[in-house]
Amino acid sequence: MTSTKKKTAAKVGMTASLGSLVVTGLSKGKLFRRFHVASGIALIAFSVWHYSLYQKKKKETVSERAKKNSN
């Protein structure tokens, strides 16, 4: 899966879980409460995934490069 498709999937997942969070939040009943909690957890998971897709890669430090070259 390409980086662009992963980002799109994360955004779609966040949108769907937010939508279901709103709908279940406005509804009454035990079943909706369970789905509301699950939707909240899904929103957090998709948000973390989305955040991780936009993080820059850690650059190798000079000392790490020196250790790598000495071996």
Domain boundaries defined on the chain? 3-70
* 9-42 exposure pattern, b = at least 16 Cβ within 10 A, e = fewer: ebeebbeebbebbeebeeeeeeeeeebbeebbeb
pLDDT at 71: 62
Contacts of 43 (CB under 8 A, 6+ apart): 14, 17, 18, 21
Q: Which residues of the chain have pLDDT under 50?
A: none
The DSSP call for residue 58 is P
pLDDT at 67: 75
pLDDT at 63: 72
